[in-house]
């Protein structure tokens, strides 16, 4: 399977995501001139040896992966550093890290000198199974998460399954959260498959790799038809309005994919209580979603902060919440809902009781 590759068509042409073990060590042989690296500082420490040539090249910016570091106000500093490294038009940015390093690099690639090429070595499960394809960059503006962004596909993606070994259990579950999302969107057969495989994914690298590849194959179908997120790609935001509100309310104390897992469970619950879908769909998905957020089942989520976050979502209309909730058939679909007392009660009930059991 190590030679598997996936081709993606984008508005800037095709690019390929390659699966290859030990691809960091290929960087030892690569021509590093005309390349400027942006590396997660934790990954730099953990993989100091295979990344040695990159880290000592004089064209490497190390950044700690925090939400603050993908805020607009950090960008003048990054640009200064790139300029002092001698970056030129025609150079290529290379991101090594998870979704945060990806968002920073992709945004810089879209804007510096009106556009540079960029290459991505995703190192988190979330980035390998989801964010590495799809062209989006999103950065924060103060407390407003992912407010600014562009559609800037990478030139190449190099996926090394071996680098996942150093991730914490919470980061693995965060990645699984996005994989659950994409499988649910694909329909009941895909969901049943990932639900049945859940425990094996955690201990069998071959099963994990297969699930990552299947996730990217499903996502490819949505982004190739609707790269700019004007229609069917919207459903990939399933669990995200609630998830982002949970991240904001907890000041990012809950990892992204776990907040999304809670968000999907909450979406299923609210849809069931509002009569949009039946109890069956909530009950079918709840055990697996719960397994995936278990380390965070009692994590305090300040409710005012949560409601406040929900009101700021980009998908809202002027007076209604734009949410992706499961429809009658259990498959997520976009709709608009009032934030009335009944809706608020359902959310409150979820945090106080439903998520615990
Ligand atoms: N642009 C997109 O399409 C897109 C899609 C989904 C999420 N995102 C964004 O991505 C971010 C989340 O990304 P993420 O979950 O990849 O997390 P991340 O980049 O924040 O990384 C999570 C943690 O894992 C560490 N880490 C990274 N690789 C490691 C490795 N191999 N071993 C050990 N530790 C490692 C990081 O240092 C960090 O502490 C959020 O800001 C989210 O908004 C963007
Ligand atoms: Zn996400």
pLDDT of 3 over the 60 cut: no
pTM, two decimals, is 0.96
At 4 the pLDDT is: 86
Choose one of 67, 100, 110, 236 to mutate for the ligand 1 pocket test, by most ligand atoms within 8 angstroms of C-beta.
Answer: 100
Choose one of 38, 96, 131, 263 to mutate for the ligand 1 pocket test, by most ligand atoms within 8 angstroms of C-beta.
Answer: 131
At 314 the pLDDT is: 84
Q: How many angstroms separate the CA atoms of 147 and 79, rounded?
A: 20
- Mean pLDDT, rounded, for 236-261: 96
pLDDT of 28 over the 80 cut: no
65 CA to centre of ligand 1 in angstroms? 7
Q: How many angstroms separate the CA atoms of 28 and 4, rounded?
A: 22
At 276 the pLDDT is: 93
**Residues 217, 222, 226, 228, CA torsion sign:** negative
- How would you write 23-65 as a 3-class SS string? HHHHCCCCCCCCEEEEEEHHHHHHCCCCCHHHHCCCCEEEECC
> Comparing 223-237, 291-305, 314-328, which segment has the lowest mean pLDDT?
314-328
Q: How many angstroms separate the CA atoms of 175 and 210, rounded?
A: 14
* Average pLDDT along the chain: 95
The pLDDT > 70 percentage for the chain reads 99
Mapped onto helix, strand or coil, the DSSP state of residue 140 is: strand
Q: Determine which residue's CA is closest to atom 13 belonging to ligand 1.
A: 99
CB atoms under 10 Å from CB of 151, counted, come to: 17
Pick the atom of ligand 1 nearest to 70's CA: 41
Closest CA to 121 of 233, 35, 245, 185: 35
Choose one of 98, 105, 205, 246 to mutate for the ligand 1 pocket test, by most ligand atoms within 8 angstroms of C-beta.
Answer: 98
pLDDT in tens, 173-204: 999 999 999 999 999 999 999 999 999 999 99
Q: Determine which residue's CA is closest to atom 21 belonging to ligand 1.
A: 98
């Amino acid at each position: 399977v190590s030679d598997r590759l996936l081709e993606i068509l984008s508005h800037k042409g095709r690019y390929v995501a390659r699966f290859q073990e030990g691809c960091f060590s290929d960087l030892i042989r690569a021509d590093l001139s005309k390349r400027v690296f942006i590396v997660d500082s934790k990954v730099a420490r953990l993989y100091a040896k295979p990344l040695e040539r990159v880290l000592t090249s004089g064209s490497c910016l190390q950044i700690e992966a925090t939400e603050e570091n993908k805020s607009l106000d950090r960008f003048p500093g990054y640009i200064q550093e790139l300029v002092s490294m001698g970056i030129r038009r025609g150079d290529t940015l290379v991101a090594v890290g998870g979704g945060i390093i990806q968002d920073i690099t992709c945004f810089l690639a879209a804007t510096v000198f009106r556009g540079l090429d960029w290459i991505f070595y995703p190192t988190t499960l979330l980035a390998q199974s989801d964010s590495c394809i799809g062209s989006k960059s999103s950065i924060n503006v103060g407390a407003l998460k992912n407010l600014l962004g562009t559609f800037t596909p990478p030139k190449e993606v190099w996926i090394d399954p071996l680098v996942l070994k150093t991730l914490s259990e919470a980061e693995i579950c965060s990645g699984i959260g996005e994989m659950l999302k994409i499988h649910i969107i694909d329909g009941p057969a895909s969901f049943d498959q990932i639900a049945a495989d859940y425990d094996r994914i955690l201990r069998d690298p071959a099963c994990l790799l297969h699930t990552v590849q299947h996730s990217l194959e499903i996502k490819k179908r949505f982004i190739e038809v609707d790269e700019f997120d004007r229609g069917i790609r919207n459903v990939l935001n399933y669990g995200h309005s609630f998830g982002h509100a949970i991240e904001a309310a907890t000041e990012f104390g809950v990892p992204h994919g776990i907040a999304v897992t809670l968000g999907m469970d909450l979406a299923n619950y609210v849809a069931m209580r509002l009569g949009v879908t039946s109890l069956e769909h909530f009950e079918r998905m709840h055990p697996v979603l719960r397994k995936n957020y278990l380390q965070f089942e009692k994590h305090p989520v300040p409710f005012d902060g949560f409601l406040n976050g929900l009101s700021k979502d980009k998908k809202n209309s002027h007076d209604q919440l734009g949410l992706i909730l499961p429809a009658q058939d259990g498959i997520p679909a976009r709709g608009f809902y009032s934030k009335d007392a009944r809706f608020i009660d359902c959310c409150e009930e979820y945090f106080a009781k439903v998520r615990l059991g």
